[in-house]
Amino acid sequence: MSTDAAAAIRHHYDVSSEFYKLWLDDSLTYSCARRGSQADTLAQAQENKLRYHLDAVGAANAGSVLDIGCGWGSILARLPGACRGVGLTLSDEQAAYIARHQPAAEVRVENWTDYEPGARFDGIISIGAFEHFATPADSPERKVRRYRDFFTRCRDWLTSSGALSLQTIAYADMSREDASAFMQQEIFPGADLPTLAEITTAADRVFEVQSLENGRLDYAWTCAQWARRLRARRPEAVQLVGPEVVARYERYLKMSALGFGLGKIALYRLVLRPSASGWTS
């Protein structure tokens, strides 16, 4: 991950945990939910999403799980007691929150490019971090090399029977040249989305893609839910972070819901296992 992308994460996520608590669900899950039915509440849909990723890596029977981009610790909090959980984040605010609420959790304010685990993991989960790995200045070839570095490291950090469960926003029916300047400059400065082709090219012969789903309509719904909840708590939000920040987030959530709804951007969930030809003992 570039210095610019790391700065973008801190710019976005270090606003205030109390601000996010106003409009996220109680698990503080800040990524696309997964609806099982039209009747699901936001909290239930987020629980569905967390369970999806935990089940994908066999967390119930795992000895260790790595969460790359661990947010406020919702995955770590749901690991069984016998499972060692390690979370990586670049947000000091998130790391401090986890330390207060999950003192037994192992959380590192560290880039995946610098991380050196002492032992292999039975599963790796990464939700919403992948879209921060490249910058708008990167050529498509450089983006693929960066993504391949990530996949290669994850492959080398997994046991032979381990799995990587990855969730990321991606460009769909639009190009990076058509991306919103507002999103690139004010919401996630210095970050660039992948395409599905870039993801699969980077993973080729490193991982086998076992399943792939596009949850873009779930994300349109999730963003609309967040926007509604933020509007309902606007006076408190303004007190915490000021009117300009609140207005920026309201615009960002509205634009995101529209982009996912129209298919301009996608939300991919991939379950990957080390390729037989690529795994090293």
Determine which helix (DSSP H) or strand (DSSP E) holds 187, and give its type and residue range: none
Please indicate, yes or no, if residue 101 is contained in any of the structural domains: yes
Give tens-digit pLDDT for 98-156: 999 998 889 999 999 999 999 999 999 999 999 999 988 899 999 999 999 999 999 99
Please indicate, yes or no, if residue 68 is contained in any of the structural domains: yes
Q: Are 157 and 117 in contact (CB under 8 A)?
A: yes
Distance CA 256, CA 265 (A): 8
Number of domains in the chain: 1
Q: What is the mean pLDDT of residues 25-32?
A: 94
Nearest CA-CA partner of 72 in 119, 113, 117, 13: 13
Distance CA 60, CA 50 (A): 13
Please indicate, yes or no, if residue 191 is contained in any of the structural domains: yes
Please indicate, yes or no, if residue 89 is contained in any of the structural domains: yes
Please indicate, yes or no, if residue 69 is contained in any of the structural domains: yes
Output the domain CATH number for residue 184: 3.40.50.150
Q: What is the mean pLDDT of residues 260-274?
A: 96
Distance CA 193, CA 209 (A): 19
Nearest CA-CA partner of 140 in 116, 171, 114: 171
Written as one letter, the residue type at 67 is D
**In terms of residue numbers, what domain contains 160?**
3-15+31-216+265-274
Check residue 195 and report its DSSP letter. Answer: B
User: What is the predicted pLDDT for the residue at 164?
Assistant: 98
User: What is the predicted pLDDT for the residue at 167?
Assistant: 98
Please indicate, yes or no, if residue 250 is contained in any of the structural domains: no
Please indicate, yes or no, if residue 269 is contained in any of the structural domains: yes
pLDDT(1) > 70 = no
Nearest CA-CA partner of 22 in 269, 254, 231, 251: 231
Please indicate, yes or no, if residue 279 is contained in any of the structural domains: no
